[in-house]
Amino acid sequence: MKPSDRIRALEIAITQLGGEVVDPWPYAAKMAASPAAAMDDFLKASGVEHFSGSEVLTPSSQGVAVATSLGWEQGQMWPPVWAFQAAACLCLIAELVRRRASSPVSCRNWFRSWPTNSRVSSSGPASDHPHACAVDLDIIGGDDVKARDEMRSMYRSPLGAALSMSLGFYPASPQTIHVGIMSPLGQRTWGGV
């Protein structure tokens, strides 16, 4: 898929998910001054209500330690501007999961550099995270069964197919859901979906 086709598909999905398509360039220009604030402003303009720029840019605790050791300030990794629309789309999907689970949801691991990913992920080159096309959602005290059902339903929908959605559950951590979109590996599931 050409990058322009990918961005157009994400823009359509953002609209279908109730968000607003916004130009990412003005926000990308502010990343050097304050990456978390710039991403926060972009997400809010896109219609994301419950997820912050800091949350989206920060990996898991293990990822923060590795990213910091590689020179990323506070472990926060800045994605390329072409990936901003994917962040908006993933956070809008996370908003649906949050509503379905009737509880807070944290959103992490959106983008990991290849060197960081190689040190924290067992998936290696098959990982969606270095492509900035996935997040891990942690259901905090809510109904993870309903959240998983919401994601299964979306995966099977025309939107899930159009987004080439990947969906994974972690057997050791039932409160965590991996959601990927526009994955280079295509639409797929794993972990007992």
For residue 175, give the 3-state DSSP assignment. strand
What are the residue ranges spanned by the domains of the chain? 3-190
pLDDT at 60: 79
Six-digit token string for 160: 């899930």
Percent helix, percent strand, percent coil in the chain, to nearest 5: 50, 15, 35
pLDDT at 74: 67
pLDDT at 10: 93
> Which regions in the chain score pLDDT beneath 70?
74-75, 123
Six-digit token string for 63: 């990822």
pLDDT tens digit sequence for 9-31:
999 999 999 999 999 999 999 99
Among positive and negative, which fits the CA dihedral 175, 180, 184, 190? positive
Q: Which residues contact 108 (CB under 8 A, 6 or more apart)?
A: 55, 56, 58, 59, 60, 63, 135, 136, 138
pLDDT at 75: 62
Single-letter amino acid code for the residue at 108: R
Asked whether the beta carbons of 137 and 97 are under 8 A apart, the reply is: yes
Q: Would you give the distance in Å from CA 39 to the centre of its chain?
A: 13
Dist. CA 67–CA 9, nearest whole Å: 30
